[in-house]
Copies of this chain bind each other. A is one copy, B any other.
Amino acid sequence: MDFKDTPEEAIFRTECAQWLATHATPKSAGQHQTFDSLAERISASRAWQATKAANGFGAITWPKALGGRGGSPIQEVIFREEEAKYNVPASVFNVSLGMVIPSLLVHGSDEVRARYVAPALQGKELWCQLLSEPNAGSDLGMIRTQAKRCEDGRDGWIISGQKVWTSFAQFAEFGMVLTRTDPDQAKFAGMTSFFVDMQTPGIEIRPIRQANGQEEFNEVFFNDVYVPDEQRVGDIGNGWRVTMTALMNERLSIGGVLPADLWQKLARNIQSQHRAVNDQSILNRLNEIYIHAHGLWLMQCRGLTALGQGKEPGPELSVAKIIAAKTLSDYCELMMDLEGSKGLLSAAEHGSHWQLIEDLWYGAAGIRIAGGTDEIVKNNVGERVLGLPPEPRLDKGKTFRELVSN
């Protein structure tokens, strides 16, 4: 075992570092790029994606023919590690380039690929993914947004319904939407995917204000939106497979969950306080945070090793999100506790270094929910990894219409 790059990896890392050094400015210690508004962050991210794409770093693992680098997942991780040392905007293209476009590549027509892949890669066109609905969160099979064949002679569909939790919908040029086209099939059948221009008449976008006051997510209303049939992605009734293609791609993206210097910061903070250094109960909390944070890093190292050997990462990474959320929450609360009663002040009083603590603390509550709640993750691991039987399926053999009428 070792934690060093292979010679090939080291060469690639140097290449990335050299390119980054000429195109971005290094982070100073503890620095954390902030923007006055989400709109500014989106603009900055578009510009940085354009720069990367123009220089062959826009999509490391995509084939060269599509404008990618034809690289390995390990190279993708190496680039991200090096990129994290620079003061660049956090990407808003993970959904576009990591989920939607890869699914379009599999299920879209040649014309569609020719038109849409390049502008997405170059950061010109941002995509969003319209999946969850108010009554279909954990259980995506219950989406109700319907697409009906036009009856007025046009070769197209009328979409109506409501989506929710759509990231960056208010800034996206396009969206991929999962709809129900046949309610008389079982819940995972009878769904069809389309892509839509987000400016299409009848699409109404309302940002959702989160607990932390930010507005990354949106409700998206489809009020009888006309979509031509050529914007259908995959066959009619094949929407779930299109969606799974997108979600599977996400599963392969590893890492970047926790700030790397989490426990070191904490250790330094404790060391500066006489009381804390002599309180073993505080030190045990530091230890636990270290055990979780370093453990997550090691789990990721195992996953990367597998990727590097051309294997699938082990299933233990599935629980990483649960550990990460708890660790972030514990970290932030210990940082606050170390401030004594001043732990109740906001970043406005503590200074800008505190903004990260505040964001992570709120964020931890969100991580436990987004992309599958803790409970759903545990069900999946229990069933797929440990092989335990699933809950009794009450919806077996029923059509969507029957399920909804209950």
Q: Which single residue of chain B is at the shortest CB-CB distance from A279?
A: B280
Mask, A148-188, CB within 8 Å of B = 1, is 00000000000000000000000000000000000000000
Q: List 8 A-B contacts (CB under 8 A).
A: A279-B280, A280-B280, A280-B281, A280-B282, A281-B283, A281-B284, A392-B392, A392-B394
Please give the residue numbers on chain A whose beta carbons come within 8 Å of chain B beta carbons, in ascending order: 279-284, 392, 394
What residues of B have a CB within 8 angstroms of the CB of A282 in the complex? 280
What residues of B have a CB within 8 angstroms of the CB of A392 in the complex? 392, 394
Q: Which single residue of chain B is at the shortest CB-CB distance from A283?
A: B281
Knowing that A280-B280, A280-B282, A392-B392 are A-B contacts, what are 6 other residue pairs whose CB atoms are under 8 Å apart, sorted by A's residue number? A279-B280, A280-B281, A281-B281, A281-B283, A281-B284, A392-B394
A283 to B281: give the CA distance in the assembly, Å: 8
Instruction: State how many angstroms separate the Cβ of A256 from the closest Cβ of chain B.
Output: 32
Instruction: State how many angstroms separate the Cβ of A263 from the closest Cβ of chain B.
Output: 17
What residues of B have a CB within 8 angstroms of the CB of A280 in the complex? 279-282
What residues of B have a CB within 8 angstroms of the CB of A394 in the complex? 392
Tell which of A279, A281, A283, A284 has the most Cβ of chain B within 10 Å. Answer: A281
A280 to B280: give the CA distance in the assembly, Å: 5
A401 to B73: give the CA distance in the assembly, Å: 57
Instruction: State how many angstroms separate the Cβ of A331 from the closest Cβ of chain B.
Output: 18
Tell which of A280, A283, A392, A394 has the most Cβ of chain B within 10 Å. Answer: A280
What residues of B have a CB within 8 angstroms of the CB of A279 in the complex? 280
A124 to B130: give the CA distance in the assembly, Å: 76
